[in-house]
Amino acid sequence: MRNFNNWIKSMLINEYIVKIRQGKSFGASLRVLDMCCGKGGDLFKWKKANISHLICADIAEVSLEQCQQRYNEIVNRTGSKDRGFAPIFSAEFITADCTKVRLREKFGDPSMQVDLVSCQFSFHYSFESLSQAECMLQNASETLKPGGYFIGTIPDTYDLVSRWQKTDGNKFGNDVYSVEFLCEDKIKPPLFGAKYNFYLDGVVNCPEFLVHLPTLRKLALKYGLEFVSFERFEEYFERFKDEGRSLLGNMQALETYPPYHETPLLGDPERDYHHAIEYMQNLPANHRKIGTLSQSEWEVTSLYAIFSFRKMKTIWNSEGKPEYVKS
């Protein structure tokens, strides 16, 4: 499942890198801000995208140190111009809470604008409060060039609330994950601060918060970010599975069913693969194996969605306040 999520991120990043390059001259620089970068799990994706500069920001100092260490290891493996290798992108690392701190003031060059802002599996933490959500969106918006993109992955609130409403209590899930809501109103949760705990393989992360999509779109527009797309992971997978077929294999994003000899299944063989069996019944007889996830893992990953916004052109009115128009 982790590999599948990585495949989704890879396809999403590539989709918008391609869009950006289509509007640039050949060889033009491409800069990226990776908000909530964690330990640098996307560094190789940025290397493959051939960007010129990366700004990594995260609240956890230890994670950011590991991110910088991974970057240095990539630099050492890649080599330098003097040794005949193409140089990797330059990078800077900022320890900051992206929901409370203005990142631009911490840039090496505060006037720098980027082509792409990425925030993977983290933006929903900003919906703890209105001020935090606005800070996060401001950080994305004011660093983007007009026509640049803000992309990311978040839980789908509609699906989360739907599953919550179908339970008697405040907790639901399966052997792989569980969600426990810490607010009481199933019919109309608060727009901000709708808190829940998410457990994956028994490990709880920080409290997470629902992201009300209409509210997100309205707030984003306030900061000059025009809504582009919102797709659940399964929809995004269906759209890109053919284009990304070889990458699915290279990343081992799906497990083979039926498994090869003596290869154990990740899920419960008795109950987690009925969907795969039914799917194979409609395939030609010589189609003996497919790539899939266990039913339990599909239930987790289907909770998530990709989003994207485009930065509008900024103009300044007579009062010195920004106004936005489509670029």
Q: Which residues are annotated as a binding site for mRNA?
A: 5-6
**Gap between the Cα atoms of 253 and 11, Å rounded:** 12
- 124, two tokens: 């929903």
Pairing mode, strands 225-232 and 195-200: unpaired
Query: What is the b/e burial string over 106-132, where b = at least 16 CB atoms within 10 angstroms of the residue's CB?
Result: ebeeeeebbbbbbbbbbbbbbbbeeeb
The predicted structure's pLDDT at residue 79: 64
What's the pTM?
Answer: 0.91
Q: Which residues are annotated as a binding site?
A: 5-6, 9, 36, 58, 97, 120, 125
Give the tens place of pLDDT for each residue, 46-56: 999 999 999 99
Q: Is the pLDDT of residue 327 over 70?
A: no
Give the tens place of pLDDT for each residue, 181-212: 999 899 999 999 999 999 987 666 779 999 99
The overall longest dimension of the chain from CA atoms, in Å, is 72
31, containing H or E segment: strand 31-35
Give the tens place of pLDDT for each residue, 101-119: 999 999 999 999 999 999 9
Q: Which residues are annotated as a binding site for S-adenosyl-L-methionine?
A: 9, 36, 58, 97, 120, 125
